[in-house]
Amino acid sequence: MNQHDRIASAFELQKAGSARRRVEFGLAERLAALNALKAAIDRREQDIVAAIAADFAKPEAETIFSEIMPVTQEIAHVRRHLRGWMKPQRMLPTMATFGTSAQIRPEPRGVCLIIAPWNYPFNLMFSPLVSALAAGNSAILKPSEMTPATSRLIAEMVAETFPPELVTVIEGDKDVSQRLLELPFDHIFFTGSPQVGKIVMAAAARNLASVTLELGGKSPTIVGPGADLKKAAQWTAFGRFSNAGQTCIAPDHVFVHQSVAADFTAALRTEITKFYGVEAEQSADFARIVNDHHAARLRGLLDDALKKGAQVIQGGKGDGRFLEPTLIEALTPEMEIDHEEIFGPILPIMTYADIGDPIVTINARPKPLALYVFERDKALIDRVVTETSSGGVSVNAAFLHYTHPGLPFGGVNNSGLGAAHGIHGFRAFSHEKSILTNRFSAVPMLFPPYTERVKRLIRMARRLLG
């Protein structure tokens, strides 16, 4: 069977079982599927570590912390709350619907497509799958071809854990993704760049499929004059340089108040050295760029910035897929790095005198996926949060909002559409069906023929109901 036929066969198999699954895939079956996934993750933990190390040279602790834990935490949270999420929600009648009962009943969307990116290939594949299964759907998974070891492992784990009519994996390159996007899925969950997100959304529109788009953008960090500089440096260094900066919600650039800029930069350099040593290339705790193409892209961004007047104040050296943690300053709008999402271990630092300046700059750009504020002054924090728009905000931390299962995680406009995690992920993969049952509604009194009496009743109803 060729790849084209295999894709069609996998889709038709899941589509054929949709009606039966809607009836038979209840709470017990969904929990059993989630338990099976958790058992598979526990059983294959060292294989997961090894696969991601093969693709990124990512350290084991970082893989457990950033790839495995988010998925197992999501499973645990869903298992605790799924019964309540699945219950129909009763809605009280209004004056216009007096004499009726109403409820909202969540139902599965059907056959879903989940396309995962390469930067967190395990986490960003299985976290959406948890939500899809919790909502009662089947799913076809498309891992990234740029992380081949992890892609192969995902395919093995899924084949060992689920029947293909419930979950299956299709591996391949962008041509495979394009073929999948031609199929009439009921929901598409895509994580990747805004550019590809537009392609996915256009493809979904042809079949009127609903979408969740987890995209990216240039997530800014603001360090205020009253910030705890050690905390700001620690979280910023962790957020920027974990996974060698290849994180969609990593601090992309820092605006630091001119009164604390020198001290913040010094603290940041101290934290980088503490994390990865004097020679990061020798550190077992620092990951590598995913491939030569992306490494060349990052060096091109850095070279372009340096040619146009930027200055390296830390790092800048690298070879092959290694680029050491790099801090630069003196950016100008002419530089490519000022416009393109960096997605690597380079952090531009810019100073400001008035908080209004970075707010204006942030608002002039596409809305970011995340925004970070380090400051003690609550009024300043509130001003930044109120006067900017972003997918999410962490105050005096980086990444942390992503880990909260009760918060919706997602972007806005250019940085995404829809939300994931917890009940928000459950809702993304559910259709909320409204059901109204008439018992003794008085509305028929307003039906034709429109006699004078009926007209008087309609006028009275209008006065009462507005």
Which entry of 62, 67, 214, 375 is annotated as an active-site residue? 214
Is 220-409 CATH 3.30.300.30? Answer: no
- Which pLDDT belongs to residue 389? 97
Distance CA(287)–CA(67), nearest Å, equals: 14
Cα 127 to the chain's mean position, in Å? 10
Burial of 404 (0-12, 13-18, 19+ CB in 10 A): middle
Is 112 among the residues known to form the active site?
A: no
CATH code of 3-215+416-433, in short, is 3.40.605.10
Query: What DSSP assignment string belongs to 413-460?
Result: GGGEES-BSHHHHHHHTEEEEEEEEESS-SGGGGPSS--HHHHHHHHH
Looking at the chain, which residues constitute the CATH 3.40.309.10 domain(s)? 220-409
**Residue 58, C-beta contacts closer than 8 angstroms, at least 6 positions apart:** 52, 67, 243, 287, 288
Would you state the structure tokens that stand for residue 264, as one six-digit string? 């913040």
Judge contact between 78 and 130, C-beta under 8 A: yes
**Cα separations in angstroms, 217 against 107, 127, 247, 263:** 33, 21, 10, 28
**Residue 465, C-beta contacts closer than 8 angstroms, at least 6 positions apart:** 95, 96
- Which pLDDT belongs to residue 465? 87
- Which pLDDT belongs to residue 260? 98
Distance CA(346)–CA(253), nearest Å, equals: 9
393 by DSSP, 3-state: which? strand
Would you state the structure tokens that stand for residue 295, as one six-digit string? 């490494």
Judge contact between 366 and 194, C-beta under 8 A: yes
Distance CA(145)–CA(133), nearest Å, equals: 24
Burial of 330 (0-12, 13-18, 19+ CB in 10 A): middle
- Which pLDDT belongs to residue 1? 67
Which entry of 248, 271, 324, 329 is annotated as an active-site residue? 248
Judge contact between 165 and 172, C-beta under 8 A: no
Would you state the structure tokens that stand for residue 98, as one six-digit string? 């007096």
Burial of 160 (0-12, 13-18, 19+ CB in 10 A): exposed
Q: List the chain pLDDT tens, one digit each, 466 residues.
A: 688 889 999 999 999 999 899 899 999 999 999 999 999 999 999 999 999 999 999 999 999 999 999 999 999 999 999 999 999 999 999 999 999 999 999 999 999 999 999 999 999 999 999 999 999 999 999 999 999 999 999 999 999 999 999 999 999 999 999 999 999 999 999 999 999 999 999 999 999 999 999 998 999 999 999 999 999 999 999 999 999 999 999 999 999 999 999 999 999 999 999 999 999 999 999 999 999 999 999 999 999 999 999 999 999 999 999 999 999 999 999 999 999 999 999 999 999 999 999 999 999 999 999 999 999 999 999 999 999 999 999 999 999 999 999 999 999 999 999 999 999 999 999 999 999 999 999 999 999 999 999 999 999 999 998 8
Looking at the chain, which residues constitute the CATH 3.40.605.10 domain(s)? 3-215+416-433
Using a cut of 0.85, tell me whether the model's pTM lies above it: yes
Distance CA(166)–CA(37), nearest Å, equals: 12
Alpha helices, DSSP H only, in 207-260? 229-241
Is 248 among the residues known to form the active site?
A: yes
- Which pLDDT belongs to residue 146? 95
